């Protein structure tokens, strides 16, 4: 029995977990190409549900302007709200700040949510 435990201990001690590593430069290149997805609805609406990966910047709060001014002007930005009115406002504001690549999600979160639900039913 002692020999079995000794053999198992030796075998298990030789095992190691090999994680896939990524260098900081590689990560920076990957993330700088991804669009910034901005949910311009209120915090309460955002908490009720949003598109995965979206950040919440309420168009009617000062934080919106303070935060977006730090984004690179050539970075792709996609804005959305519940149905389109607030994201249209955000789109115009971002364009006035000099952002070159701004898009507004057609139909807003409601449309995205319905499409996501339809896909999950299939």
Query: Which residues are known catalytic residues?
Result: 81
Largest CA distance in the chain: 77
**What residues form DSSP beta bridges with 55?**
38
Structure tokens at 38: 């901005």
CA dist., res. 50 & res. 90, Å (int): 17
CA dist., res. 76 & res. 84, Å (int): 18
Total Cβ atoms within 10 A of residue 15: 6
């Amino acid at each position: 029995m002692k020999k079995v435990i000794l053999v198992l201990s030796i075998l298990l001690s030789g095992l190691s977990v090999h994680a896939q590593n990524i260098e900081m430069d590689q990560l920076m290149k990957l993330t700088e190409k991804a669009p910034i997805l901005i949910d311009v609805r209120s915090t309460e609406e955002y908490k009720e549900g949003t598109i995965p990966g979206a950040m919440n910047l309420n168009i009617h709060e000062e934080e919106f302007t303070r935060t977006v001014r730090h984004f690179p002007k050539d970075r792709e930005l996609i804005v959305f709200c519940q149905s389109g009115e607030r994201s249209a406002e955000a789109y115009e504001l971002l364009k006035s700040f000099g952002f070159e690549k701004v898009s507004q999600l057609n139909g807003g979160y409601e449309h995205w949510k319905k499409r996501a639900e339809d896909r999950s039913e299939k």
